[in-house]
Amino acid sequence: MALPPPFFFLLIATLPSLFPFISAFSPLGPCSAPPDHGSTLHILPTFSPCSPPSPFHDTTLLSLSNRDVSRFLYLSAAAAPSRRRSFVPIASGRNLLQSSTYVARAFLGTPPQPLLVSLDISSDVAWLPCSSCSGCLPSSVFFSPNRSSSFLPLTCNSPPCSFLPIPSCPAKTCTFNFTYGSSSISTTLAQDTLSLASDSISSYTFACIASTSGGSLPPQGLLGLGRGPLSFISQTKNLYFSTFSYCLPGFLSPNFAGTLRLGLSGQPQRIHTTPLLSNPHRPSLYYVNLKSIRVGRKRLSIPPSALAFNSSTGAGTIFDSGTMFTRLVSPAYTALRDEFRLRVNSTVSSLGGFDTCYNGPVVFPTITFEFDGMNMTLSEENTIIHSSRGTLSCLAMASAPDNVNSVLNVIASMQQQNHRVLFDLPNRRVGVSREPCTS
Ligand SMILES: *[C@@H]1O[C@H](CO)[C@@H](O)[C@H](O)[C@H]1NC(C)=O
Ligand SMILES: *[C@@H]1O[C@H](CO)[C@@H](O)[C@H](O)[C@H]1NC(C)=O
Ligand SMILES: *[C@@H]1O[C@H](CO)[C@@H](O)[C@H](O)[C@H]1NC(C)=O
Ligand SMILES: *[C@@H]1O[C@H](CO)[C@@H](O)[C@H](O)[C@H]1NC(C)=O
Ligand SMILES: *[C@@H]1O[C@H](CO)[C@@H](O)[C@H](O)[C@H]1NC(C)=O
């Protein structure tokens, strides 16, 4: 196998989190990027079909925070050891339940067919709407197995089939079903050549969606960047050595460019890192040890049990690319919010799921996550979300939803924006450093 070129970029765009926008998204559409050359792909359009939005409208904010609740419930369920069905979320009824907020462009098949895929570091198996799909949205970006000479459906005794949580074999083909929001999805496991940037991965295993009912399936596919055996990271181990980093662009930045950098070359060398922890019950998730939180210089008094990693309960802290706003377990969030309010010392209001909002100009304290061996200090851009309603600004974090007895802290995408986040699996570490994302 040829050595990988110095590094590969995939450009990441913020995915419009509301359905109508996504359907405007097509790899060949009017807002599409020019052809990609070398190892850099051009950026994908985002929120509105072609241009950046002004501050979030309240309705957008509310639906973003609702979508986030569903995602959080899915992750919380995935972290609990008693639920071994990692594809079955406990919540339903919301759109885009497991969907990631960021998309990249990929190509599948021979000759290559362009696709859009959500990037999800908490999932493993890639899945895509296939052209024969019954029940998929007509606006989906379909993959046509018939038009690919390298497409291969997998049989039940193929090794990848044994990695599925609940495979079923009505005929000889390996199939599996899962639910996604209110949809039931039936897929066949298959292999084909996946191309990203200037690299080609032959015999890439993915799930081809054969049918769906219920209507909450997003129109694009998903690429799982988790740690399990069927993830992109595991399948490309010999090429990228289970090492990648990303820079997630700001939701409100006029420049939506972000990059996913795959492999060893070009990764930051001088970066503070924290050990990566493994939960054998939930092998996909990137757990780290969050030791404490500071607001300004004040280290919060949080019961250690609220932050401690425990693989048998699923408790601890993960990084996730598909949750937009950081969620902390109740005692941790309450301590953070109370200190934050004390520092701001102004009249507090709420907006939807955000309970610490202010009208008018106020000075916000910085928030620092203290991980084992690494501090991550958030700038205002990572802390505050601005609403278009007057001058309302909210602390862009929340506690676990009321009815959920969650033990999981999720460091979400808004808090990671404009940082380089490195996932170095061979050395079992996660690194974070501030970096304005540019293409
Ligand atoms: C693909 O080919 C098979 C066999 O020729 C055919 O039954 C099927 O309808 C085709 N599917 C599509 C989406 O064209
Ligand atoms: C999967 O879904 C398909 C289509 O709805 C159905 O025919 C099949 O019985 C399901 N398989 C299992 C194991 O539930
Ligand atoms: C993990 O949680 C279980 C169940 O609550 C508890 O029995 C165990 O002591 C915890 N382990 C650690 C290392 O705290
Ligand atoms: C909070 O604001 C009030 C009124 O503006 C002021 O009297 C008080 O000293 C402030 N408290 C702190 C801790 O700054
Ligand atoms: C994190 O910040 C604290 C407080 O400033 C400091 O004591 C500690 O050394 C820092 N840790 C690292 C790894 O930089």
Report the nearest-CA residue for atom 2 of ligand 5. Answer: 375
Same fold for the domain at 19-262 and the one at 273-434? yes
What residue ranges in 242-310 does DSSP mark as E strands?
243-247, 258-262, 273-277, 286-288, 290-295, 298-299
pLDDT of residue 102: 77
Which residue among 120, 124, 199, 424 is the active-site one? 120
CA 73 to centroid of ligand 2, rounded, Å: 25
DSSP type of residue 102: E
Q: What is the pLDDT of residues 224-274, one digit of tens each?
A: 999 999 999 999 999 999 999 998 887 655 555 678 888 998 899 899 999
Would the pLDDT of 345 be above 60? yes
Q: How far apart are CA 263 and CA 4, in angstroms?
A: 8
Q: What is the pLDDT of residues 94-132, one digit of tens each?
A: 233 344 467 778 899 999 999 888 888 988 889 999 998
- 320 counts as catalytic: yes
Q: Are 421 and 431 in contact (CB under 8 A)?
A: yes
pLDDT of residue 40: 31
Would the pLDDT of 47 be above 90? no
- 120 counts as catalytic: yes
Which has more confidence, 342 or 401?
342
pLDDT of residue 164: 83
Which has more confidence, 99 or 418?
418
pTM, rounded to two decimals: 0.85
Homologous superfamily of domain range 19-262 = Acid Proteases (2.40.70.10)
Q: Are 57 and 65 in contact (CB under 8 A)?
A: no
CA 224 to centroid of ligand 3, rounded, Å: 30
Q: 273-434 has which CATH code? A: 2.40.70.10
Would the pLDDT of 31 be above 80? no
Domain ranges of the chain: 19-262, 273-434
Q: How far apart are CA 394 and CA 357, in angstroms?
A: 4
Would the pLDDT of 390 be above 70? no
Q: Are 197 and 265 in contact (CB under 8 A)?
A: no
CA 166 to centroid of ligand 2, rounded, Å: 12
Would the pLDDT of 86 be above 50? no
Would the pLDDT of 22 be above 50? no
Which residue among 124, 192, 199, 320 is the active-site one? 320
Burial class (CB in 10 A: 0-12, 13-18, 19+), 42: middle
